[in-house]
Structure 1
Amino acid sequence: MSLADQFRNHFGHRDHLYGVMLAELADDLDAGGVTATIVASKHDATRADAIQLRLLAGIYRLVLRGGEPELAAFYPTLGGTRGPAEIWPVLRPVLANHLLELQAAIEHPPQTNEVGRSALLAIGLFEAARRHDLPRIRLLEPGASAGLNLNAAHYRVTGPDWAWGPVDSPLVLDTEAAGVHPVSVEIVEHRGCDIAPIDVTQPDAAAYLRSFVWPFDLPRDRRLQAALVVAQRHPPRVDRESASRWLARQLTAAPDGVLTVVWQSITAQYWPAQESARVREIVADARSRMPLAHLTMEGVPPAQLTGGYDVLAHGPRTELDGQVIARSHHHGPPVVLATA
């Protein structure tokens, strides 16, 4: 599939801002326009590289910087109300004026760090603590990005008949999960790793993370901004290292009376198959030596990774030691408990 077709087929419609933008960028790419110049080094990219998402994020960062007010008028997260059908005459000169910056932007893979996943993390922690009868938890997250989900204990998570977390938290995650029974867990240590971690204390971190959120997804943007407020008070610790090397070191030993929880969210589609396999081996070996629970949230079964983005519509599932315990919408915190 050509790069232009990857752009065009990512959404396959023009029903929202990014659908229109990708359709126009694809046409311009086919015509040898400015888009072709920007992505000239990426014509052999695969769908997994998501060059179109990298470019959209780079454009969004230009807008977030405040220097493109005409373009900002199309972005709902910035108060824009203009219809997306009119965007191309405004977008094209912006692309031409920022060629080098956009060429640099497509070198960086998406870093979404959706904090709505913390709702599923919380439910998984309750169940893990209950099964192991260990309420004191050491939380480890390989592939943590900015580490925002490591701050789950500082968020308020609620359902129709339950609540957990500080009542004054800037971030409240309301879910559709009924019948959840929170356990009084204590996260005594939390730490993550990533091959390209984002330091939330740096001034450009917020704009970088926001740029990977679709600008018409207002609830998700609000969740991210609230989580960044929490992160300024409680900066997550994220080491720069690969998942397998980092876990091998972290799982050499564990404090007595503490349950180690290895938490991964949406990693399978980004990690090489051999890295995922090595992580599973390390976790399995550690489980024989210490109380350990492996909590994962994935949107795509590994066997379907080459099948395209449509499988994400079924919603990510959360598994505890291989057993599905909950499902959610892909880009939000609403959660339903698994019945299987």
Structure 2
Amino acid sequence: MGAHEGTTLAHRLRAHFGDADHLYASLLAGMADDWEVGGVTREVFEGWEDAPPQQLPQLRLLAGLFRIVLRGDAPQLEGYYPALGGDLDHHEAWAAVRPVLAAHVEELHEALRDAPQTNEPARSVALLVGLSEAIARTGLRRVRLLEPGASGGLGLLVDRYRFVGDGWAAGPDDSPLVVEGCGAAGFEPVAFDVVDRRGCDVAPVDLSSEAGRAYLTSFVWPWQVDRHARLAAAIEVARAHPVVVDRAPASQWVAERLAGPAEPGVLTVVWHSVTRLYWPADETAAMQAAVDEARSRMPVAHVALEHDWSSAGGGVDPGLPSIELDGEVLGVGDHHGPPVRLS
């Protein structure tokens, strides 16, 4: 039995998508059945049976499987992946997937070490909301942007994307990435100038490499073709305007970045999205302490799009993520960013 409300891993696999009808729901149902009879799924997940729900080992495995498909080592599965042009019935996919799991047990077990890095660029609409409010409160329009848990750095390019919401729009008209359906009725975006931007991650993704681009792609659910198009457009922006993502843990890096003197008239914004669930509690506390310590020396704003896992108990559904500015909830976003509902 697992450690979470007496449920087994099989129960948690089935519960992740519930009654949803898509490829991954079908595969997790197949994996659950296979785990219960001692099949290859049990071997792949060995040691992860009691992982905390927020570690999402099932999504790590599915991404590892997608990477095998992306590199062409499982051509028999491509037809089940709409992002690759597939249109086969996903209800029949498990029978084709199980032999692939058996052929790649070691690789897929290692894939469980890799925390999901969707690096969803549309989540930066939350940064736009938080940033606009911080600028309105401080009057400072010149911004230094810092992102711990930045992955490939796509969340640092908020001013290079175009956002379209309910009665408002922001960003360059000619951006390769246009994020539609942002909601946030009544929102008034504020003009700003990013004078410096930098990120960190314990495992940065190099978007200049084919392997790095495929790695990020593998975490985007394959039937969400629009999200794949968004990612491709954001990568195009990033390749034209590369950002630096240092290899470092969040709290150490934030403390070091905030230790030096700030340029006068510049608002430092520490921003992260859907990363806190992967950080140990002491890491989150240390990063927050670094931000708080810097407030006496420079204008600092802390913007986040994060789920409240503390209210999820032992379950797997933490609800929708909140948009936070210095701990104040400004609204609610969707798991992948838009639409936004302001408080």
TM-score range relative to shorter protein: over 0.9
Q: Which residue does 2:328 correspond to in 1? A: 323
Q: Give the corresponding residue for 2:238.
A: 231
* 2:199 alignment counterpart: 192
By how many angstroms is 1:305 displaced? 5.0
Aligned with residue 114 of structure 1, among 91, 116, 120: 120
Equivalenced residues, count? 335
Retained in 2: the 8 A contact 1:14–1:23? Answer: no
- Give the aligned partner of residue 303 of structure 1: 310
Scaled by the length of structure 1, what TM-score is found?
A: 0.93
Q: Does 1:260 align with 2:268?
A: yes
Alignment of 1:135-214 (within 5 A): 135-174=141-180, 175-214=182-221
**Does 2:114 match 1:99?**
no
Match of 2:339 among 331, 334, 340: 334
- Judged with a 3 Å threshold, the aligned counterparts in structure 2 of structure 1 residues 114 and 265 are, in CA distance, closer, same or farther, namely same
Q: What TM-score, normalized to structure 2?
A: 0.92
The amino acid across from 1:286 in the alignment is: A
Amino acid at match of 2:239: Q
Alpha-carbon distance, 1:78 to partner = 1.4
**In structure 2, what is the equivalent of residue 244 of structure 1?**
251
Corresponding residue for 1:285? 293
219-228 vs 94-103, greater mean Cα deviation: 94-103
Q: Deviations over 1:228-257 (max 9, x none)?
A: 111111122111111111111111121111
Deviates more, 1:108-117 or 1:329-338: 329-338
Do the aligned partners of 1:13 and 1:20 also contact (CA within 8 Å) in 2?
A: no
Alignment check: 8 A CA contact 2:54 2:316 kept = no
Q: 1:15 pairs with 7, 17, 21, which one?
A: 21
Query: Matches of 1:269 and 1:63 in 2, distance apart?
Result: 28
The aligned counterpart of 2:284 is 276
DSSP-derived class of the 2:317 partner = helix
Shift of 1:262: 0.9
User: For the structure 1 residues 43 and 310, does the alpha-carbon distance in structure 2 shift closer, same or farther, using more than 3 Å as the test?
Assistant: closer
Name the SS of the counterpart of 1:311 in structure 2: coil
Contact kept in structure 1, 2:53 and 2:316, CA below 8 Å: no
> How far apart, CA to CA, are the structure 1 residues paired with 2:341 and 2:312?
24
> Alpha carbons of 1:291 and 1:75: their partners in 2 closer, same or farther (altered >3 Å)?
same
Structure 2 unmatched ranges of 5 or more: 3-7
Alignment of 1:82 onto 2:88: yes
- Partner SS for 2:332: strand
Matched, 1:124 2:123: no
Could you say which residue in structure 1 is the equivalent of 2:5? none
> Separation in 2 of the partners of 1:298 and 1:214?
20
In 1: Cα distance, 2:325 partner to 2:157 partner = 20
CA distance in 2, matches of 1:102, 1:272: 24
Letter in 1 for 2:315: G
CA distance in 1, matches of 2:46, 2:138: 53
Q: CA, structure 1 residues 306+193, in 2 after alignment: closer, same or farther (shift >3 Å)?
A: farther
Equivalent position amino acid for 2:42 in 1: A
Residues 307 and 45 (structure 1), Cα distance of their counterparts in 2 relative to 1, 3 Å cut = closer
What letter corresponds to residue 310 of structure 2 in structure 1?
A: A
Q: 1:35 aligns with which of 41, 66, 71?
A: 41
| Superposition deviation, residue 14 in structure 1 | 5.8
Report runs of 4+ in structure 1 exceeding 6 Å deviation: none
Question: Offset of 1:67 from its aligned partner?
Answer: 3.4
1:69-93 Cα deviation digits (max 9, x unpaired):
3211111111211122111221122
Q: Are the aligned partners of 1:34 and 1:96 in contact in 2 as well (CA < 8 Å)?
A: yes
Tell me if structure 1 keeps the 8 A contact 2:81–2:222: yes
Partner SS, residue 118 of structure 2: coil
Q: Secondary structure at the match of 1:251?
A: helix
C-alpha change, 1:210 and 1:132, in structure 2 (3 Å) is same
Cα RMSD for the two superposed structures: 1.7
| Greater mean alpha carbon deviation, residues 52-61 or residues 34-43 | 34-43
Q: Partners in 1 of 2:285 and 2:165 — Cα distance? A: 35
The reply on whether 1:5 has 2:41 as its aligned counterpart is no
Deviates more, 1:315-324 or 1:167-176: 315-324
Give the drift of 1:160.
3.2
8 A Cα contact 1:117 1:265, kept in partner: yes
Name the aligned partner's letter for residue 301 of structure 2: A
Query: Aligned AA for 2:12?
Result: Q
Return the offset for 1:44: 4.2
Task: Specify whether residues 309 and 36 from structure 1 end up closer, same or farther in structure 2 by C-alpha distance, changes over 3 A only.
Answer: closer
Give the Å deviation of 1:47: 2.2
2:127 match: secondary structure: helix
1:16, 1:73 → 2: CA distance? 14
